[in-house]
Amino acid sequence: MKKILIVEDHADIRRLIRMTLEFEDYAIFEATDGERGLFMAQEVTPDLVLLDVMMPGAIDGLEVCRRLKAQPNPPRILLLTARGRSEDLAAGVQAGSDVYLVKPFSPLQLIDTIGQQWPEQA
């Protein structure tokens, strides 16, 4: 079973993502900020991290992405953000993200994007 870690500070968005993914065969974990996200990633070693870019606290999503990608066998990272400008996309790619999804996104768009990360499951 693939493990997905959701790192998102807005409870409503986390709930929407969880509800969207509950119909698939994933183990789902959640964190509310960058520091907790890094801790959870160490604990559960997710296959995919759905990572908000703008979060409260000392560590934003781009820094979480950089730190996770610097580790051996890093997870795939899907950045979720309201920032959709080309320079924001470039910053996400530079941080090491595998995919960049701009908010608001539909549940179907999220499922399709995740399915592209694991085409053998689609």
User: How confident is the model over 29-43, as pLDDT tens digits?
Assistant: 999 999 999 999 999
- Predicted confidence (pLDDT) per residue in 1-54, tens digit: 899 999 999 999 999 999 999 888 899 999 999 999 999 999 999 999 999 999
Query: What was the pLDDT predicted at 119?
Result: 62
- Predicted confidence (pLDDT) per residue in 62-108, tens digit: 999 999 999 999 999 999 988 778 888 889 889 999 998 988 888 89
33: nearest Cα among 24, 21, 41 = 41
Domain locations in the chain as residue ranges:
2-121
Query: What was the pLDDT predicted at 122?
Result: 40
The residue assigned the tokens 């993200």 is: 97
Q: Quick one: fold of 2-121?
A: Rossmann fold (3.40.50)
Q: Which residues of 110-122 are buried (b: 16+ CB within 10 A; e: fewer)?
A: beebbeebeeeee
